[in-house]
Structure 1
Amino acid sequence: MNDIIELVRKNLKNFIRAKSGALVVILGPLLVIFLAGLAFDNSNVYSVKIGTYRPEAEPATNILLDQLRGEFKVVEYDTKEKCVNAIKNTDINTCMLFDANFTIGVPKKNQITFYVDYSRINLVWTIMQTMTEQVGEKNLQASQNLTKIILNTMDYTQKRLKDQRAAVTKLTTQNQLMLQNNKDLIAELGDVNLGFDESGYQVNDLESSRTQVKQWMESALALSEKGLSKSTTFIAAANDLVKASGASQELKDKLTASLASTLDEIKKLKADMTELKTVTQESFKQFDNQIEAINQAITDTKTDLQQADTSRQMSLRVLEATTRLLDQSLLTTAEIQLIINDVDNKINAIEIKDPGAITQPIVTSIKPIVQEKTYLNYLFPVLIVLVIMFTALLITPTLILLDKHSPASFRSYMTPVKDSSYIAANFITAFILLMVQVIIILAIASVFFSSQVLTNIPQAIFLLVIISSLFILIGMVLGYVFNSEETATLAGVSIGALFLFISDVIIPIESMPEAFAYIASFNPYVLGSSLLRRALLFDSSLLSMYQDILIMLGYIIAAALLASGLYMMTRNYSLQQLTKKLTPVLVKMHLKKK
């Protein structure tokens, strides 16, 4: 047991004496855990950036964007293409597109389309959930407002109809009274005798009597004229004869007889005139009776007309009363019509009447910025850069330390070769090994998987060269810093884990505090995977990625200078150590020669 304790103590002393190894073993995991804790010790989405495009600045969109600005960074774009391209360039995380004339609750004008990058699998679902919650909250608020409007309209309608119930009752009573008045008017007009008895006027008899009287009068006048004429003629003739008579007595006797005869005729005419007079008087008496009957009939008709006029006047009064009632009814009806119109306007003022629009005033849809692919397509850029990073960080220092500790290291230092050639040789060796591994991975992915994982080959090769070069140079720095393979391997794993944890592979960078996320955005692993993803998935041009490429080239230059400086320091240190080791040997050889 004591032997074991002593051996453990000895091992610990050796470990502590190896200062670089102790620092890597202790500080490496500690640094990784510390930085990971700073980055992910939260459950918030701090730096999610939302791009928006809206054809017009509607009040509804202003309210929604103001609500989003309280929790996220909102960037507005003037075209849809700029907004979508901003996702590809990692300037924003999602793009919100509003319908033209966006109006909450109006179908075909209430849709919000979210464009997301499905290649960022660990972030896309968080964004979708967050946006769904935000829009869902606005949906609920809008639905509650719409429901409140409907309920208020129903309450208003019920109240107004209740207030007008008395008016409707009054209108009914007035209509009933008007109906009764009309019935009375009908009965009153029914009692009016407006019949005309044509036989009571004896129009035909009156015409016949008038004709007879006329004939009789004409006959009487004719007879009178005839008698008078004859009498006049006779008298004139007799007078003439008597005056001028120079006749005998016999003749005179004859004349006397003639005059006597004429006198008889005149008497007869007088008798006829008397008879005619009597007949005429009787006819006129009958005519007078007929006229009297006509007068009586006219009087009776006048009486009937007076009664009809009285009934008419009464009917007019009833009609006037009915008219007044009708006027009142019309006013009441007009009031009811106004109320109905008011209620109808209130109902028509409810713009949203679609049940679907009320339950879901805002319609959302989620679309990918590229055609949907398999998860392997989305993860391949991240995986290939991850393999390159760890392979470069582990193989490169191992190659350098194997060469440093090999028996031929002394001969290597003594050969007349430039220092830059050694550095370039180490870089090219590691690069060849790394490229062989990448080619094997690409071949396996192309042969055994259905998805086409490698597109846009020229740009992808260029970016893979840059990414591989950077991590190889970082591995060379580790190889020149540490003296043992184990320590260098542990340092490489620690640095790789640090790059991995402070990236968007496990947890999105947007989940980190803003300052920490800004620093993490310059992580070589983040830059490399982002560049390769944009080239493979979005077919982005090198010109559109020039900023990140320049940063990677800057890292490469800095790492190359650092590796060169460390190589020179390591070479000088190794020569010094070798000189110290060879000094006693050279002294002994020199003494032997003497």
Structure 2
Amino acid sequence: MIRQTLKIINKNLKLLLRSRSSALIFILGPLLLIMLVGFAFNSIGTRNMDIGIYSESYSEVTLSFVKEIADGPFRTLQFKSEETCIENIKKGTVTACVIFPPDLDITDTNIEEIMFYVDYSKLNVVWQVMDRIKKQLTKASDSFSLDLTNVLLTSLDTVQDHANKTYPIISDSRSRSDLLVSQIKQSSGSMDGIDLDLDMSSLDFDDVKLEIGTLKHSVAAMYDGLDKMYKKAKDLNNYGLSQALLCTATPEEETSLRAKLDFNQVGVFKSDIDDDYSSALSKLNYSYNKVADIEKEINDLDRRLSSGESLRDELQSNLSKTITLVDVNNQNLALIKNRIAKIESVIDGLEVKDAENIVTPISTNIKPVIAEKTNLMYLFPNLVTLVTLFMCVLLAATIVVTEKKSTAYFRNFISPSSDFNFIIASYLTNLLLMLMQVGVILFIANYYFQTHVSANLFAISLILFLLITLFTLIGMFVGFIMNSQDTVTIGAIVVSSIMLFMSDMIMPLESMPAYISNIASYNPFIIGSDLLKKAILFQKPAGELSSDITLLIVYSVMMFLIVMLIQWLIKKQKIGKYANRYVMKKERKKWHRLVAFSEDVEKELDG
């Protein structure tokens, strides 16, 4: 059983590899596909991407950002206006546009915003590009943030230095203030020790005044008494004189003179004088005692004033020291004020003091070049191109190989119809079927998914017609060089897969090596998908797409000529093959007849 199974496997392999073209497809097809895909995808990151740059006025900060982008895997192209930059995205000249604010500067007033314009239809590259650009800008932004942080830290170091220099001044001022407070307290205590109180109650000035007044009256009374004594003495004097006269006076004169001289009156006056004197002496003693008390109080006050004078001198000395301390403190306060002013100037010199501006000095905003649409709308051009590619190549190759395997294939060669007619007929058959399929796809997309295909129907129809034509001719080419249904299917899939993998639908061209991306840029699949994208998404008229449309026409004409050439070569080969087969058949019959004749002759000779 195993031997039979192995024989069947051997038979199947022989059937598959009987044709050289089939063998090449089975062996070289996957190898070619893997080799091309390996060369195309054997890279890291993105390269050779053109990024548009625009700003109304380029500042030093802007130029540093532009330099940072250019140092990455990008080429920068500066444009004269924002609209021109966006238009070049639609044309495919640049991958993204970076719009910088005019005179970009990092300040504390606001956070500057950098605008990015991208084409969301390039989903496989746009976010990769934006990520790389953002990394480059973030690197520059981090550099600015680091510079701002260094400036802030330098300012803090300066503030700390001024603070460290201010602390000894404050400490010295505090020590002097403590000493000043101590001296003030000491002076206050000394002032409390000064006794300037005078007991006015002990000094009874009213009594003294009263006693002095009484003394005045007594003295006045004494004065009056003395006056009277004086008069009495005068009278006595006169009396003596009179006594002298009595000796010579007559008795009548003596009697009259004696009547005038009353000696008892003199005694009375004397008694009054003694009383007044005693009273005056008593009052004078009282006044003396009062005056002595006053003198004592005054002496005590003088002693206390003398003590207060020494305290005053001490207070004056303390006040002088206090004034000196106050002057020094004023100087220290002036130094502190100076330091604080320097600290304020350092803080005011910081351009950015907001924490958010220091951490994120630059913000970014991403905008699409067209109004934001659904993901299907962005993918629709690529999907239509992909369906057209595989359907056209497989269908055209199948039609051709089916015709080749039919029994009427040789009769077609010898019929009066030209090869051109057969090729055009196959092409039109495929075109008709594909137009029906694509028409259904466009109808559903336009009315059910709102892709707005009808807005630019002429350009879209022209592009699809050229794509169907080109892919059909490619499929016919595959069908003509293959000999079996199996190999033609594999060949069609390999050719379609090569065009698919060498496009930007799987991996962006910018991520491929330069020599691969340059070749892949001429891939009909890429050209067709870009044309449909511009016609459907950007609503570009056919006139603005003339260069790529012309390239598709050139491709189609070249493929048509190649197909005609292959058809002619196959026809020539087939006719020669059939002719040789016919001649060999006639020669074989002659040989058989000759052999039979020889055998008959030998039999007759033997007989």
Q: TM-score, structure 2 length as denominator?
A: 0.68
Report the CA distance shift for 1:107/1:422 in structure 2 as closer, same or farther (over 3 A). farther
CA displacement, residues 39-89 of structure 1 (integer Å, 9 cap, x when unaligned): 112332223332211222211122222222222222221211121112111
Q: Which moved more, 1:19-28 or 1:68-77?
A: 68-77
Are residues 1:16 and 2:20 paired? no
Contact 1:105 1:358 in 2 (8 A): no
Alignment-derived partner of residue 56 in structure 2: 55
Are residues 1:574 and 2:574 paired? yes
Are residues 1:470 and 2:470 paired? yes
Report the CA distance shift for 1:167/1:92 in structure 2 as closer, same or farther (over 3 A). same
Alignment-derived partner of residue 119 in structure 2: 117
Counterparts of 1:137 and 1:526, CA distance in 2: 34
Counterparts of 1:550 and 1:320, CA distance in 2: 106
1:539, CA displacement in angstroms? Answer: 1.6
Counterparts of 2:488 and 2:58, CA distance in 1: 58
CA displacement, residues 185-231 of structure 1 (integer Å, 9 cap, x when unaligned): xxxxxxxxxxxxxxxxxxxxxxxxxxxxxxxxxxxxxxxxxxxxxxx
Alignment of 1:51-450 (within 5 A): 51-73=52-74, 74-104=76-106, 106=108, 108=110, 110-168=112-170, 335-450=335-450
Counterparts of 1:111 and 1:341, CA distance in 2: 35
Are residues 1:481 and 2:481 paired? yes
Report the CA distance shift for 1:485/1:181 in structure 2 as closer, same or farther (over 3 A). same
Contact 2:393 2:496 in 1 (8 A): yes
1:169, CA displacement in angstroms? Answer: 5.9
CA displacement, residues 400-446 of structure 1 (integer Å, 9 cap, x when unaligned): 22223323334433333333222222222211111111112222333
Q: Which moved more, 1:9-18 or 1:462-471?
A: 9-18
Are residues 1:25 and 2:37 paired? no
Q: In structure 2, what residue type is equivalent to 1:136?
A: T
Report the CA distance shift for 1:563/1:393 in structure 2 as closer, same or farther (over 3 A). same
Q: In structure 2, what residue type is equivalent to 1:150?
A: L
Alignment-derived partner of residue 559 in structure 2: 559
The number of equivalent residue pairs is 462
Counterparts of 1:484 and 1:542, CA distance in 2: 40
1:367, CA displacement in angstroms? Answer: 0.8
Q: TM-score, structure 1 length as denominator?
A: 0.70
Report the CA distance shift for 1:162/1:485 in structure 2 as closer, same or farther (over 3 A). same
Q: In structure 2, what residue type is equivalent to 1:404?
A: K
Contact 1:50 1:72 in 2 (8 A): no
Counterparts of 1:327 and 1:367, CA distance in 2: 68
CA displacement, residues 91-145 of structure 1 (integer Å, 9 cap, x when unaligned): 2211111111112355556211111111111112212322333333333333333
Report the CA distance shift for 1:578/1:105 in structure 2 as closer, same or farther (over 3 A). farther
1:463, CA displacement in angstroms? Answer: 1.0
**3-state DSSP class of the match of 1:446?**
helix
Percent of aligned pairs with the same residue? 31
Counterparts of 1:588 and 1:513, CA distance in 2: 60
Counterparts of 2:370 and 2:363, CA distance in 1: 22
Q: Considering only aligned residues, what root-mean-square deviation do their CA atoms show, in Å?
A: 3.5
Report the CA distance shift for 1:85/1:15 in structure 2 as closer, same or farther (over 3 A). same
Report the CA distance shift for 1:398/1:327 in structure 2 as closer, same or farther (over 3 A). same
Report the CA distance shift for 1:179/1:128 in structure 2 as closer, same or farther (over 3 A). same
Contact 2:446 2:452 in 1 (8 A): yes
1:364, CA displacement in angstroms? Answer: 0.7
**3-state DSSP class of the match of 1:17?**
coil
1:544, CA displacement in angstroms? Answer: 3.6
CA displacement, residues 326-382 of structure 1 (integer Å, 9 cap, x when unaligned): 998776665544433322221112111223212211111111111111111111100
Report the CA distance shift for 1:564/1:359 in structure 2 as closer, same or farther (over 3 A). same
Counterparts of 1:175 and 1:444, CA distance in 2: 93
Counterparts of 2:502 and 2:374, CA distance in 1: 25
**3-state DSSP class of the match of 1:34?**
helix
Q: In structure 2, what residue type is equivalent to 1:70?
A: D
Counterparts of 1:556 and 1:133, CA distance in 2: 43
**3-state DSSP class of the match of 1:347?**
helix
Counterparts of 2:410 and 2:23, CA distance in 1: 28
Counterparts of 1:167 and 1:526, CA distance in 2: 78
1:485, CA displacement in angstroms? Answer: 2.6
Contact 2:68 2:140 in 1 (8 A): no
**3-state DSSP class of the match of 2:426?**
helix
Are residues 1:510 and 2:510 paired? yes
**3-state DSSP class of the match of 2:105?**
coil
Identify unmatched segments of 5+ residues in structure 1. 183-317
Contact 2:98 2:115 in 1 (8 A): yes
Counterparts of 2:578 and 2:85, CA distance in 1: 63
Contact 2:16 2:23 in 1 (8 A): yes
Counterparts of 1:454 and 1:481, CA distance in 2: 39
Counterparts of 1:558 and 1:345, CA distance in 2: 77
Contact 1:102 1:111 in 2 (8 A): no
Alignment-derived partner of residue 228 in structure 1: none
Report the CA distance shift for 1:169/1:589 in structure 2 as closer, same or farther (over 3 A). closer
Counterparts of 2:506 and 2:170, CA distance in 1: 74
Report the CA distance shift for 1:538/1:446 in structure 2 as closer, same or farther (over 3 A). closer
1:160, CA displacement in angstroms? Answer: 0.7
Contact 2:121 2:379 in 1 (8 A): yes
Contact 1:103 1:109 in 2 (8 A): no
Report the CA distance shift for 1:534/1:401 in structure 2 as closer, same or farther (over 3 A). same
Identify unmatched segments of 5+ residues in structure 2. 185-317, 592-607
